[in-house]
């Protein structure tokens, strides 16, 4: 049985405590795909993933370097939150701080390589300065990822810019999960 994360307030994908004028007397059920895509749309500008601390030996270190190395942390955190929306929506099992670890978890959770970007797909870009980069396709030639320059999540062209420019970054992998269909 695969690990299934859950939010502390979730019970069988229902929110029985959600009582507002609109929900009194109604069953409330999270729509996983729509909520996942909303997470992506609403993530732009956040610095939530800029810092994560660990002990390296016996020394405390910010392993994301103030947002410079936060892309895998951002992607895995969004997928982990989305995995909590429904028992069948297991997009990832754990938080990761490397593209390699994130990729391995994607494979283990049933993500498959695809040849063309789709809204919500996970994107991996070629390595620069020894680091691959990971984010999400938004559709319309746009993507979302943590900016190593600004230390926050930014929306940008899928390839960051035109081929032949210094900002261009080749997409090396696109991943899709069947639960997103």
For residue 20, being part of any structural domain is answered with no
For residue 130, being part of any structural domain is answered with yes
If one counts the domains in the chain, the total is 1
Q: Mark 63-91 as b/e (b = at least 16 C-beta within 10 Å).
A: bbeebbbbbbbbbbbbbbbbbbbbeebbb
For residue 54, being part of any structural domain is answered with yes
Q: Helices 71-83 & 32-42, crossing angle to 10 degrees? A: 150
pLDDT of residue 22: 63
pLDDT of residue 27: 80
Q: What is the chain's mean pLDDT, rounded?
A: 89
User: What is the span of the domain harbouring residue 129?
Assistant: 32-180
pLDDT of residue 17: 45
pLDDT of residue 105: 98
Q: What percent of the chain has pLDDT over 90?
A: 77
Q: At residue 137, does pLDDT exceed 70?
A: yes
Q: Mark 154-178 as b/e (b = at least 16 C-beta within 10 Å).
A: bbbebbbeeeeeeeebebebbbbbe
- Residue 86: pLDDT band (50, 70, 90) is confident
* Euclidean distance between CA atoms 65 and 109, whole angstroms: 28
For residue 11, being part of any structural domain is answered with no
* CA-to-CA separations, 1 to 79, 90, 151, in angstroms, rounded: 19, 11, 37
Here the tokens at position 4 are 């299934």
The reported pTM is 0.86
pLDDT digits (tens, 9 = 90+) for 157-169: 999 989 999 899 9
CATH number at residue 85: 3.90.1720
Radius of gyration of the chain from its Cα atoms, rounded to whole angstroms: 17
For residue 68, being part of any structural domain is answered with yes
For residue 160, being part of any structural domain is answered with yes
For residue 65, being part of any structural domain is answered with yes
pLDDT of residue 24: 64
For residue 121, being part of any structural domain is answered with yes
Range of lowest pLDDT (16-25, 51-60, 162-171): 16-25
- Residue 29: pLDDT band (50, 70, 90) is confident
């Amino acid at each position: 049985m695969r690990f299934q994360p859950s939010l502390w307030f979730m019970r069988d994908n229902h929110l029985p405590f959600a009582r507002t004028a609109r929900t009194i007397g109604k069953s409330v059920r999270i729509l996983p795909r729509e909520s996942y895509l909303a997470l992506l749309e609403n993530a732009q500008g956040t610095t939530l993933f800029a810092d994560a601390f660990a002990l390296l030996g016996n020394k405390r270190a910010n392993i994301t370097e103030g947002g410079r190395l936060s892309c895998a942390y951002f992607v895995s955190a969004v997928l982990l939150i989305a995995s909590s929306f429904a028992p069948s929506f297991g997009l990832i099992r754990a938080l990761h701080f490397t593209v390699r670890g994130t990729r391995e978890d994607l494979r283990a959770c049933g993500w498959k390589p695809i040849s063309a970007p789709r809204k919500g797909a996970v994107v991996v870009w070629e390595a620069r300065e020894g680091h691959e980069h990971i984010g999400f396709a938004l559709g319309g030639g746009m993507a979302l990822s943590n900016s190593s320059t600004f230390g926050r999540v930014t929306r940008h062209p899928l390839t960051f810019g035109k081929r032949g420019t210094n900002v261009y970054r080749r997409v090396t992998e696109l991943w899709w999960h069947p639960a997103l269909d």
